[in-house]
């Protein structure tokens, strides 16, 4: 099988570097171009010594002419920049965006939450929001794949099947999520310079975090119901990993065992969603450097309430790994190719 030629835009960010590492080990991929802005002319191993052993191109400035030489474009860029690149796509290109430019289904919703004019709104219809375990074969119909945010990945994977099966009340969901600071990108040290980043825990984005929009959109679309939830993210003094603690009320006739079995059966054919034994206490350490989403269903002190723990590595399952997994689904490669990290 001929290798697919790849262009990575934003290769030196935390997620861009992780994506590059994964693609270097993918047997069906040839990395043809690495693009950046302030890093132009440098070697990628300047930013991560682990990449020194791979033969990779120097970082260059994006040029639309590159698109005629590649099959896949990965954009790990600030919000708004994938829209610019998407205008130059040809019929042979697949764009996989790791930012938010195509996560929301309407121009108005995007501009409301991101405060950026959407300059490629005519292409929204050609894009799909894709957690691969949920979208599956549908992605083949689209030329733009939008990878979900890291927080929503931990939330949507456990909640969608439970709401669809009418096992939990969908108006009283509380989501408490904690992330390593790499989730805020390489500029995190400037953005949070007054927060004692390495020794403190900070809540932020209460009621208005941008990921509210995609959680709401996908919960409603995938379950056919109007759902209500509270979502509070926290920045923690660790580099990577996310742990979401989700509090839900169960419906009459549901039980801890039934809920666990529904999740096991729903994801039994998906190697990267793993359901732990009931009442297992999860740690981000359980998922670091994997593409896994690890889920545990736990008792609370009330019989009609349960606690769901959901953990991922935000740079892999919440970033570069999910992008590679979506690519594998699209081209019918082995689902785990390049992801045995």
Specify whether the CB–CB gap between 62 and 39 falls below 8 A: no
Task: Report residue 84 as tokens.
Answer: 């610019």
Number of H helices, E strands in the chain: 9, 14
232 forms beta bridges with: 176
Specify whether the CB–CB gap between 245 and 154 falls below 8 A: no
Residue (of 145, 127, 146, 155) closest to 212 by Cα position: 155
Tell me which of 9, 35, 147, 150 is the catalytic residue: 150
In terms of C-beta density within 10 A (0-12 exposed, 13-18 middle, 19 or more buried), how is residue 201 classed? Answer: exposed
Instruction: Please give the span between the terminal C-alpha atoms of the chain, in angstroms, as a whole number.
Output: 23
CB-side exposure of 4: number of CA atoms within 13 Å? 24
**What does 215-283 look like in DSSP terms, one character per residue?**
HHHHHHHHHTS---EEEEEEEESSSS-EEEEEEEEBPTT--HHHHHHHHHHHTTT-TTEEEPPTTPPP-
Q: How many CB atoms lie within 10 A of CB 208?
A: 9
24 is catalytic: no
Specify whether the CB–CB gap between 137 and 329 falls below 8 A: yes
Distance CA(248)–CA(180), nearest Å, equals 24
Catalytic residues: 150
């Amino acid at each position: 099988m001929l290798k697919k030629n790849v262009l990575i835009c934003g290769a030196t960010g935390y997620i861009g570097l992780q994506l590059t590492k994964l693609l270097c080990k993918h047997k069906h991929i040839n990395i043809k171009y690495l693009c950046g802005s302030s890093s132009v002319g440098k070697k990628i191993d300047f930013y991560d010594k682990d990449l020194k052993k791979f033969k990779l191109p120097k970082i260059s400035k994006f040029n639309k002419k590159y698109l005629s030489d590649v099959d896949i474009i990965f954009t790990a860029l600030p919000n708004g920049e994938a829209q610019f690149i998407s205008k130059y796509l040809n019929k042979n290109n697949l764009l996989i965006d790791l930012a938010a430019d195509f996560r929301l289904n309407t121009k108005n919703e995007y501009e409301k939450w991101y405060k950026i004019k959407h300059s490629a709104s005519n292409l929204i219809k050609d894009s799909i929001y894709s957690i691969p375990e949920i979208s599956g074969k549908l992605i083949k119909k689209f030329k733009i794949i939008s990878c979900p945010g890291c927080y929503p990945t931990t939330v949507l994977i456990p909640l969608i099947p439970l709401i669809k099966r009418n096992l939990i009340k969908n108006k009283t969901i509380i989501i408490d999520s904690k992330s390593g600071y790499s989730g805020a990108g390489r500029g995190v040290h400037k953005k949070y310079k007054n927060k004692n980043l390495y020794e403190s825990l900070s809540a932020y984005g209460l009621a208005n975090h941008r990921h509210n929009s995609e959680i709401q959109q996908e919960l409603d679309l995938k379950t056919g119901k109007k759902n209500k939830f509270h979502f509070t993210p926290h920045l923690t003094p660790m580099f990577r990993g996310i742990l979401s603690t989700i509090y839900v009320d169960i419906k009459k006739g549901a039980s801890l065992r039934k809920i666990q079995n529904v999740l096991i059966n729903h994801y039994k054919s998906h190697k990267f969603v793993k359901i732990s034994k009931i009442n297992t206490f999860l740690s981000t350490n359980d998922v670091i450097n994997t593409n896994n989403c690890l889920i545990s269903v736990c008792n609370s002190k009330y019989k009609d309430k349960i606690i769901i723990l959901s953990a991922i590595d935000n740079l892999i399952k919440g970033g570069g790994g999910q992008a590679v997994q979506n690519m594998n689904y699209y081209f019918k490669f082995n689902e785990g190719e390049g992801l045995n990290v």
